[in-house]
Amino acid sequence: MNLILDEEATASPSAADACSLEHYLTLPDHSMDARIAAARAQLGKSTILLGHHYQRDEVVRFADLTGDSYKLSKAAAETDAAYIVFCGVHFMAESADVLGRDGQQVILPDLNAGCSMADMAEISQVEDCWENIERLGLAVDTIPITYMNSSAAIKAFCGEHGGLVCTSSNAAAAFRWAFARAKRILFLPDQHLGRNTGHSMHIPLDEMVVWDPWGLQGGQTQASIAASRIVLWKGHCAVHQRFLPSHVDQVRARYPGIQVIVHPECRWEVCRKADALGSTERLIALVEQAPAGAMFAVGTEIHLVNRMARRFAAQGKRVITLDDTGCLCTTMYRISPQHLAWALENLVEGRVVNRIQVRKSVKQWAKVALDRMLEVS
């Protein structure tokens, strides 16, 4: 089952593949361990297995590399592996295909592993937004920037319209690059990262407006858009939006002296109460660099928080989640040991299943947007 991705692409498994996968899904998780290990050994260096920080433990334990999406995609492209098995979500596998070398093939073990944030901005909606901005005569003063957590089609849109891609760690650099060239940024698809980045650059909240793709002209007037510095897309991460200011107050009351560190995909109100913001890599670094005895409440996905807690306990540091109820990335959680074993054992048999292949025209402009990001970083 191969997937060529653009806004119109669809795919479904062959009957044989579907039956095969259904058989795997009837088996318990632990029964996959030896099979995954055996397949990995047989495939050797022909295959690299990537595991995102938010991936479940039963899967990420087999990863050759762990990290955030861009780091993993870039690292895989620098290897000699012919096959990249990405245990993450759709947009991550797309990025790996965009950045990959000629001949490398990217596999997503479960095609249902999407991203709720990325899904909140469809390319047709973004094109409609831009047409509105053009009609109002404001496009000439506007540069589109998309977060890494977006489809390849939207990355390509930004590349073709003079914009670029950013990560959570280099968003401010991307904003500075854009403001040196235009008055206004259209930021996709996470309003919270856009607002937090803008605020850190001393842009007033009233100069940041939210574009609602379901509203007439985005729910904005010509005057409000014209007066804005940042047009924020109405999107968010389902995991990080769950964290509330009250969670910060509660954890500080319960653990005096605790440090609260959160991902910038969290709400502006939460980020203002936190001691520090950072990407997944920076959150890990903040705990890593802290002295023994330090305690942290971390506002990000629960699998990463739990792994940090186990890793740093031996160093005398305590890590807890900011919200006791916890929150996992349900779409990434869909990749199970069964899906991974199915994908790897098919590779052993010479079959590539669930290939993620970005259309050439989309890949070209998405690469332009990513290359611009590298220049500003």
CATH of the domain at 25: 3.40.50.10800
Mode of pairing for the β-strands spanning 105-107 and 355-358:
antiparallel
pTM of the model: 0.90
Does one domain contain both 50 and 143?
no
Residue 371 located in a structural domain: no
On whether residue 367 sits in a domain, the answer given is no
Domain containing 103 equals 2-114+331-360
The helix or strand, by DSSP H or E, that contains position 357, with its residue range, turns out to be strand 355-358
Contact 94, 107 (CB under 8 A): no
Query: Residues near 137 by Cβ (< 8 Å), separated by ≥ 6?
Result: none
Give the model's pLDDT for residue 222: 96
Q: Compute φ and ψ for 41, nearest 5 degrees.
A: -65, -40
Mean pLDDT in order along the chain per 10 residues (377 residues): 42 47 86 94 96 90 92 94 95 95 95 92 97 97 97 97 96 97 98 98 97 96 97 95 96 97 97 96 96 97 93 96 83 89 95 95 95 89
Alpha carbon distance 25, 338 (integer Å) = 6
In a domain, 59, yes or no: yes
Residues 89 and 339: their CA atoms lie apart, in Å, by 13
**Do 129 and 231 lie in a common domain?**
yes
Which of the listed residues 186, 204, 237 is the one where a domain comes to its end?
Answer: 237
Shared domain check, 170 and 59: no
User: Is residue 17, in this structure, part of any structural domain at all?
Assistant: yes
Looking at the fold, whether 130 and 232 belong to one and the same domain comes out as yes
Q: Kindly state whether residues 232 and 248 are assigned to the same domain.
A: no
373 within a domain of the structure (yes/no): no
Question: Are residues 102 and 9 both part of a single domain?
Answer: yes
**Domain C-terminal end among 237, 254, 270:** 237
In whole angstroms, give the CA distance from residue 304 to residue 322. 12
- Helix (H) or strand (E) holding 146, with range, is strand 142-147
pLDDT for position 54? 87
- As for how many domains the chain has, the answer is 3
Question: According to the model, what pLDDT value does residue 331 have?
Answer: 79
Is residue 96 located within the same domain as residue 158? no
Same domain, 17 and 97: yes
Instruction: Give pLDDT, residue 377.
Output: 74
SS3 47: strand
Q: Would 366 be classed as within a structural domain?
A: no
